[in-house]
Amino acid sequence: MKNFIFISPNFPTNYWQFCHELQNNGMNVLGIGDQPYDELMPELKESLNEYYKVGSLENYDEVYRAVAFFAFKYGKIDWLESNNEYWLEQDARLRTDFNINTGFHLEDIPRIKYKSKMKPFYQKAGITTARYHMVDNFESCRKFIDEVGYPVVVKPDNGVGASDTYKLSSDRELQEFLAYKYAAHPFAPYIMEEFVHAEVNSYDAIIDAHGNPIFEAGNVTPMSIMDIVNNSDNSIYYIVKDLPDDTRAAGRAAVKSFGVKSRFVHFEFFRMTEDQASMGEKGKIVALEVNMRPCGGFTPDMINFARSTNVYKIWADMVAFGGTDMPVGQHFYCAYAGRRDGKPFALSHEQIMQRYQNNMRMVDRIPAALADAMGNQMYVATFSTEEEMNQFYKDVLATE
């Protein structure tokens, strides 16, 4: 029996399904988290062979001791994973320290976590990248802006999601950002990039041990996550009914260039919404960033609805058997709408549920940790046509 350690299996709450499918495949599933065992979801408890509670997952020594305990009790650890962006570096450190070879090690982290270090691997794959400058002082930043023009986007070089990401449109905003950065994050590297007029298209795939995709899908985010976070906007994105050929080609090229194996990945690309001299023509795919984990929140469930399948099982089959025979059925658009509390929406929750009762697949409140990017009240629904989906968005997000 192979030993699989799942870090923070309780968050997001849907991740118990990864553990459930691993256990169904005969693996010894061992959880490490900071939530008391009695507070875990019953489904998660049933999916774990054993759980080790630490005082804080931020405390590496504590987590190290938990892994050491499991290794002493059960023998060699075959896999260690969180499938969570926040813990990718700690996962890699633990794999390095315990010689677990089924995943990234510390030496791999720069190219998969630092936005500036991703760019050469995109370029190696033949994918255009935005010009950039590492934030230092006003004069150097202004020289870069003379080259690319306002607006520019600034963000942590090693960041999670759209956290601490800003669009700067003037010298005054640049000066204010630099003052903030040096006061709040004086030693953290920030990257400045030319602004790309685009929507975000993703390549979501499960990659086997040979670097080949065994499942592929994708989503579209018409609105900027940066704007959603900074302006407290509603949140929308959707799983495409069929993955476009150019997104598939770019995703597969990036998988090879970054050396991805045995992972569920979420690669983000820009699709140009207008011609831009430095980038190319409208419609072109341009690099944004790689995420070496599943797309966040309830997206794995949305992919299941859009493809009539079970990506939790496909991933667990890849881990246990190297491949899968899980079928993929009828394709749909799967739409996510996250409404922000406090807005005067034209339709009440009850009216939405009545109007779309045959389409609705999930309805829930979003955890506070995810609400900045995803809204407070979420609706997930499937549609056969793009026109039906657009009407859904119009109805759910309309205000009085």
**What is the chain's pLDDT, residue by residue, as a tens digit (400 residues)?**
899 999 999 999 999 999 999 999 999 999 999 999 999 999 999 999 999 999 999 999 999 999 999 999 999 999 999 999 999 999 999 999 999 999 999 999 999 999 999 999 999 999 999 999 999 999 999 999 999 999 999 999 998 766 789 999 999 999 999 999 999 999 999 999 999 999 999 999 999 999 999 999 999 998 766 676 667 789 999 999 999 999 999 999 999 999 999 999 999 999 999 999 999 999 999 999 999 999 988 899 999 999 999 999 999 999 999 999 999 999 999 999 999 999 999 999 999 999 999 999 999 998 888 888 889 999 999 999 999 999 999 999 999 9
Which amino acid is present at 334?
Answer: C
Chain centre to alpha carbon of residue 182: 28
- Closest of 181, 189, 184 to residue 138, by C-alpha: 181
Residues 373, 235 contacting (CB under 8 angstroms): yes
Name the residue among 82, 331, 123, 80 with its Cα closest to residue 215.
331
Residue 228 CA neighbour count, 13 Å, CB half: 23
Strands lying side by side in the sheet with 28-33: 50-53, 28-33, 3-7, 79-81
pLDDT at 224: 65
Dihedral in degrees, nearest 10, Cα atoms 26, 31, 36, 38 = 0
Per-residue DSSP letter, 279:
T
Which residues, including other chains, have CB under 8 Å from residue 145's CB and lie 6 or more apart? 152, 174
Give the H/E segment covering residue 231.
helix 225-231
Q: 312, 16 in Cβ contact below 8 A?
A: no
What's the burial of 108, exposed, middle or buried (CB within 10 Å: 0-12/13-18/19+)? middle
Q: Which amino acid is at 86?
A: Y
Identify whether the C-beta of residue 269 lies closer than 8 Å to the C-beta of residue 289. Answer: no
pLDDT of 225 reads 63
pLDDT at residue 384, as a whole number:
98
What distance in Å separates the CA atoms of residue 399 and residue 131, rounded to the nearest whole number?
38
Strand partners, 371: none
Provide the pLDDT for residue 226: 66
**Tokens encoding 345:** 């929406």
Which pLDDT does position 276 carry in this prediction? 94
Q: Give which of 276, 255, 263, 271 is closest to 220, Cα–Cα.
A: 271
- CA R_g for the chain: 21
List phi, psi (to 5°) of 238. -150, 150
